[in-house]
Structure 1
Amino acid sequence: MSVLLSCSSPFSLLKTSPPTHSFPKPSSLSFFRFSPPSLSLHSTPSNTSISIRASTQVGAAGSEPPIADRVSEFKDACWRFLRPHTIRGTALGSTALVARALIENPSLIKWSLLLKALSGLFALICGNGYIVGINQIYDISIDKVNKPYLPIAAGDLSVQSAWLLITFFAAAGLVTVGLNFGPFIFSLYTLGLFLGTIYSVPPLRMKRFPVAAFLIIATVRGFLLNFGVYYATRASLGLAFEWSSPVVFITTFVTLFALVIAITKDLPDVEGDLKYQISTFATKLGVRNIAFLGSGILVMNYVFSILAAIYMPQAFRQWLLIPAHMIFALSLIFQARVLEQANYTKEAISGFYRFIWNLFYAEYAIFPFI
């Protein structure tokens, strides 16, 4: 039921950490750090002198930024720490599975279930935050090259603060699930946290092994999330678990989609990975080949979805499933062509990867109605 991945952090995959990499531990450093409000992470020559003068004036006055600004900056750092695009995937996926279970059993819908559903969503977001957070703690030196905007790598969040946050996420998620969803769902949630931990943390650090890494992502984001949420929702309705064709479809579809995310997420990180001699599919096979491979798997996924609608009209709404997946497939082919024409620049690669996540969101958006 946990999600991890993100597949960011982890919701950077498939990487081998540098031999000399040392892993941070909680320390007695300041709880959190802020830069003066006048400084920018992307300053230009035209504003550098202004920032320096502003910082000098603040230092000369012996004053600190207003507490409201410091709190606002800390909130922004925490939000970036959660990797928002993975949060959106988790929230949309769990909402879609709950909606599907309710659509299948409309007579059992009760307002009292709303609070339980919200508590489940809170637990999933906590699990997601723990997994992407612990990955950032153990990837600081790599993120300084590949993702310098992340809060720890950028110096906007201290390592101690990050440890406190992920400890809170893990504890809050486990307590919430344990109190509301029973031992079976608790065990699935714990499994998700465990997989997210061994993905990033030595001595196992499974992200060093490409196949193991993307299998972890596929398991957590593909199977555990979909099966766990659907099972928990039916249990809350007083029903025994029972697979339905749409749920089998989304579980299979998203598991394959998670594999694509796992192999394409390293495309924007090739520069830093090569610098630190980190082995990924992108560094071994090349950006162009991985982009084509990921696109090919997704197009195949869409073709199978269309065939499922054609040969199982009793299980799916053809008028929605067929045209939607035709549009998704054509859009993906077009974006792959745009990437090719842009000669695989870093900006174009990042845009292509964001588009893949948008397709992921779109699949869950239509799922309750298929």
Structure 2
Amino acid sequence: MASVLLGSFSLASSLTAGSFVTKASWYKTQKIQNEYLIVRHQQQHNLKHDYRYIEVASTSKERGRCYSMNAGSGESFEYEHQDPSPKSLLASTKDSLYTFIRFIRPMPTIGITINIISASLLAVENLSDISPTFFIGLLKAIAVFLPMQIYNVSVNSLADFEIDKINKPYLPMASGEYSRRTVIIIVASSLILSLGLGWIVGSLPLLWVISSYFIFSSAYSINIICVTLSHTSTCKLPLLRWKRSSVLTIINYIVKFIMLNLGLFLHMQTYVFKRPTMYPKSLVMAIVFVSIFAVVISLFKDLPDIEGDEKFGIRTLAVRLGPKWVFWFCISLLEMAYGAAILFVGATSSSIWSKLITGLGHAFLASILWYHAKFVDVKSKTETLFFYKFIWKLYMAESFIIPFVR
């Protein structure tokens, strides 16, 4: 009996050599061996019976192996090996969703969503306005506009495919995770979805916003390709591919940001609340601030992309004047905007809580902006890209402050 036990433990050790055995598999092995001893003691006959020893490997490459062991001879034979199981449906869905989120640029998309909420809150005059009617109108606005934002991002990725291979090789299309056909499908479906939902909702301000957003987004990114029998050439039409010009890029961003805030406010004011058109102080401040952020974002987004823009002849201000000048111009512009908000908006407000939130909020944002800006290496693509995302976070924070301006 002792020799059998020693042989059993020796064989088990040889089978698990080179692999990590979990506590669960060790306890299972002990249970099998104990049950075997009990049966042998009850039967009291010679050791001529086979039993099975099961080892569950803990590595991801081996899901399990089954071994047949003859207790008398001490020999073992591997009779089954299971290949790694295919990726589950849940894991595949998570991977696909993660890729799609990276494709639509989560930071700008989240920032625009928060801006939609902020612009909608500008139409709220008292707490009774925060009702199911308000939330239904807000959900309609988000459902109509977000597909247009996806169109904006995807059509830009399609047009900048070659440039993104240099500037943003980690993006799904540039890295090969998404094919050109896939992106074309996303472009077409998001455009049809946005315009279709806008038509179904029937809000004229929303239709105005998404239509103008479609026109300006297309003019900014798209270029006309003329195909002839002999060659393919690029038609540089004056009303397309605005990103070639820094001035047109700034105008594009300013107009889109203003239309978004004005259109969403009018959607809530006239379509949801059925009130006459008016332009409160908070809306004026929102338009001023989004215009400043539009200039900053349109200039700042070019800082990490200087290499690819130079190669493809896109003469942005960052290419012409250098990243350091553009960086500190943007910082100075935002700091002046925060200072003006503290002096002229917060100080002139008739509400105490509005003064506190507006004044302290902008002072805090101005401080953290200056603190972080001092440590940025403007020649580093990684640091400027990170700071560009930080600018979007400031934009989100501003969207939370503006509705409190009264």
Q: Same fold (TM over 0.5)?
A: yes
Q: Which moved more, 1:248-257 or 1:303-312?
A: 303-312
Q: Give the direction of change, closer, same or farther, for the CA distance of 1:156–1:218 in structure 2 (3 Å limit).
A: same
**1:319 alignment counterpart:** 356
Q: Counterparts in 2 of 1:233-312, with a 5 A limit? A: 233-235=268-270, 236-309=272-345, 312=348
1:100 corresponds to 2:122 = yes
Are the counterparts in 2 of residues 94 and 229 from structure 1 also a CA contact under 8 Å?
yes
Question: Which of 96, 100, 103 is 1:81 aligned to?
Answer: 103
> For residue 263 of structure 1, what is the amino acid of its counterpart?
L
Q: Counterparts in 2 of 1:1-370, with a 5 A limit? A: 67-102=89-124, 104-203=125-224, 204-221=240-257, 223-235=258-270, 236-309=272-345, 312-314=348-350, 317-339=354-376, 342=377, 344-370=379-405
How many Å apart are 1:252 and its aligned residue? 1.0
Deviation track 1:302-340 (CA, whole Å, cap 9, x = no partner) reads: 11111222552227821111121122112222222111x
Q: Give the direction of change, closer, same or farther, for the CA distance of 1:343–1:184 in structure 2 (3 Å limit).
A: closer
How many Å apart are 1:109 and its aligned residue? 4.2
CA distance in 2, matches of 1:269, 1:350: 9
Which of 1 and 2 has higher RCO (CA within 8 Å, sep 6+)? 1
CA distance in 1, matches of 2:205, 2:296: 29
> For residue 281 of structure 1, what is the amino acid of its counterpart?
L
Are the counterparts in 1 of residues 163 and 312 from structure 2 also a CA contact under 8 Å?
yes
CA distance in 2, matches of 1:213, 1:315: 38
Q: Give the direction of change, closer, same or farther, for the CA distance of 1:184–1:97 in structure 2 (3 Å limit).
A: closer
Q: Give the direction of change, closer, same or farther, for the CA distance of 1:261–1:291 in structure 2 (3 Å limit).
A: same
> For residue 273 of structure 1, what is the amino acid of its counterpart?
D
How many Å apart are 1:226 and its aligned residue? 0.6
Are the counterparts in 2 of residues 123 and 173 from structure 1 also a CA contact under 8 Å?
yes
Are the counterparts in 1 of residues 205 and 266 from structure 2 also a CA contact under 8 Å?
no
Q: Which moved more, 1:321-330 or 1:125-134?
A: 321-330
How many Å apart are 1:269 and its aligned residue? 1.1
Q: Give the direction of change, closer, same or farther, for the CA distance of 1:212–1:156 in structure 2 (3 Å limit).
A: same
How many Å apart are 1:178 and its aligned residue? 1.8
What is the aligned length? 308
Q: Which moved more, 1:316-325 or 1:228-237?
A: 316-325
How many Å apart are 1:66 and its aligned residue? 5.2
Are the counterparts in 1 of residues 245 and 314 from structure 2 also a CA contact under 8 Å?
no
The TM-score normalised by the length of structure 2 is 0.71
How many Å apart are 1:361 and its aligned residue? 0.9
Deviation track 1:215-264 (CA, whole Å, cap 9, x = no partner) reads: 1111112x111101110001211111210001110111111111110011
Q: Which moved more, 1:286-295 or 1:272-281?
A: 272-281
Q: Which moved more, 1:148-157 or 1:184-193?
A: 184-193
Are the counterparts in 1 of residues 111 and 393 from structure 2 also a CA contact under 8 Å?
no
The two structures, once aligned, show a CA RMSD in angstroms of 2.3
> For residue 161 of structure 1, what is the amino acid of its counterpart?
T
How many Å apart are 1:67 and its aligned residue? 5.0
Identity %: 26
Deviation track 1:121-149 (CA, whole Å, cap 9, x = no partner) reads: 12111111001110000111100111111
Higher CA-based Rg: 2
Are the counterparts in 2 of residues 116 and 180 from structure 1 also a CA contact under 8 Å?
no
CA distance in 2, matches of 1:86, 1:268: 16
Are the counterparts in 2 of residues 260 and 294 from structure 1 also a CA contact under 8 Å?
yes
> For residue 145 of structure 1, what is the amino acid of its counterpart?
I
Secondary structure class of the residue paired with 1:101? coil
CA distance in 2, matches of 1:101, 1:123: 19
